[in-house]
Amino acid sequence: MIIPGSSAAEARQVLEALQRQIAAIAASSDIKGIIITGSGEGFCRTAAGTALSHIQASELASLGQQVMFSLEKTGRPCIAAVGGVCSGLGLELALACDFIVASDTASFGLPGIAAGQIPFCGGTQRLARLVGKSRAKEMIYSGEMITAGEAFRIKLINRLYAAKDLMSEAVRLMTLICSRSPNAIRIGGEVINAGYDIDLQTACLLERNAFALCFASYDQREGMQAFLDKRQPGFKGE
C-alpha cells in the first residue's frame, strides 16, 4: 500500500519502505511472484517535493534508482495492477515492474514538470524504452495525465480490465505465470533486460547461452518429463 504524499520526506519514506519490502521478498523462498497495487481508488501519486538542495536531490534520485533496480533484480515476476491515479513516483514504480495491467478507471502521468522537475527513479529511460522517445517526451514535457485507454493504445500497459475485475484478473495472470518454471522466468527476464539495448547479434548470443543453461536445471528436466507423462510439472526453481 502506498500513501500519497507531496514532500521529499514522504517520497523518501515511500522509497525506504519499498526498499525494506523488496529486500524481504528477495530473501524469501516462499514468494513466487509480486503484484504491486494501491489502496482505495489510487495507486500512487507521491512526488519529490520542491524544498531540496542540489545534493539532497541527487541523494533522493540515487535512492529511488537503487530501489527500482532492486525490484527488477528480485528474480520474481512482478506485475503492477493500477486501479486509479498512477503518477510521479507511482508511475516510475509501475515502470520498474515487468509489466502493467490496469482498470478502465486508471490514469497515468508524470506531472513533475509543473514544479520544474523530471522523473528521478529511472522514469525518463524506462518510459522511453516502453513507448518510444517522442511519446515519452510528450508525457514528460506536458505533465498531462492520460487515460487507461490511451495508455493501452500506446503500449504503456499490457492489459485493460473493468475496475471490478482488475485484481481477480491480475491474480489469475500471476497464478498462471507462477505455475511455470521459476528458473526459466528468471533467466528469460535477465536475457530480455540485458539484451534490450545491445545489437541483435550479441543479444542472440546471450539468448543461446541462457537457453543452454536451462538444460542444466532440474526445472527443464522436470518440465520435459511432465510433458511426456502428460501431467502437471512440479517445478522447484532449480
Q: List pLDDT tens digits, range 67-83.
A: 999 999 999 999 999 99
Handedness of CA 167, 192, 73, 92 (dihedral sign): negative
Place domain 182-229 in its CATH homologous superfamily: Lyase 2-enoyl-coa Hydratase, Chain  A, domain 2 (1.10.12.10)
Mean pLDDT of all residues in 140-152: 97
Question: Is 193 a residue whose pLDDT tops 60?
Answer: yes
Q: What is the dihedral of CA 187, 170, 72, 13, to 10 degrees?
A: -160
User: In this predicted structure, which of 53-57, 93-97, 118-122 has the lowest mean pLDDT?
Assistant: 53-57
pLDDT band at 3 (very low <50, low <70, confident <90, very high): very low
Whole-number pLDDT of residue 50: 59
User: In this predicted structure, which of 49-63, 124-138, 147-161, 190-204 has the lowest mean pLDDT?
Assistant: 49-63
Mean pLDDT of all residues in 145-163: 97
Cα 76 to Cα 32, 64, 132, 180: the distances in Å are 6, 20, 26, 12
**Which CATH number describes the domain made up of 8-178?**
3.90.226.10
Q: What is the DSSP string of 105-120?
A: T-EEE-GGGGGT----
Could you tell me the residue ranges of all domains in the chain?
A: 8-178, 182-229
pLDDT band at 11 (very low <50, low <70, confident <90, very high): confident
